[in-house]
Amino acid sequence: MPYDTHQIEKHEPTALLEALLFLSGQPMKTADICAHTGWSRSETENTACTLEKLLADQRRGLALIRVAGGYQLVTRPDLCNAVSWVRASDTAELSPVGLEVLAIVAFKQPVTRADIEKLRGVSSERVLATLVQQGLVVELGRKDSPGRPILYGTSAYFLECIGMDSLSDLAGHVPVAVSEDIPSEAAEKIEADTEPTEDIEIHGTVTETDE
Q: What is the pLDDT of residues 68-127, one digit of tens each?
A: 778 999 888 888 778 766 665 444 678 888 989 999 999 898 999 999 999 999 999 999
Query: How many domains is the chain partitioned into structurally?
Result: 2
Binned at pLDDT 50, 70 and 90, residue 205 comes out as: very low
Q: What is the pTM of this model?
A: 0.52
| 14 shares a domain with 53 | yes
Amino acid residing at 127? V
Q: What is the pLDDT of residues 12-25, one digit of tens each?
A: 899 999 999 998 88
Q: Quick count: other Cβ atoms within 10 Å of Cβ 98?
A: 19
| 196 shares a domain with 106 | yes
- The share of the chain scoring above pLDDT 90, in percent, equals 38
**Interval 36-50 mean pLDDT:** 93
Write the secondary structure of 147-163 as one string of H (helix), E (strand) and C (coil).
Answer: CCCEEEEECHHHHHHHC
Residue 71: the pLDDT is: 92
Last residue of a domain, one of 86, 109, 143: 86
**207 in any annotated domain:** no
**Interval 176-190 mean pLDDT:** 47
Helix (H) or strand (E) holding 29, with range, is strand 28-29
The CATH number of the domain holding residue 40 is 1.10.10.10
Q: Which domain holds residue 45?
A: 5-86
Residue 86: the pLDDT is: 67
Write the secondary structure of 192-206 as one string of H (helix), E (strand) and C (coil).
Answer: HCCCCCCCCCCCCEE
**68 in any annotated domain:** yes
Last residue of a domain, one of 86, 111, 143: 86
Cα 102 to Cα 26, 150, 155, 159, 160: the distances in Å are 22, 16, 11, 12, 14
Last residue of a domain, one of 67, 86, 105: 86
Cα(143)–Cα(45) distance, integer angstroms = 38
| 195 shares a domain with 143 | yes
| Residue 196 predicted with pLDDT over 70 | no
| 103 shares a domain with 186 | yes
- Which of 157, 162, 159, 111 has its CA nearest to residue 133? 157
| Residue 165 predicted with pLDDT over 70 | yes
**186 in any annotated domain:** yes
**37 in any annotated domain:** yes
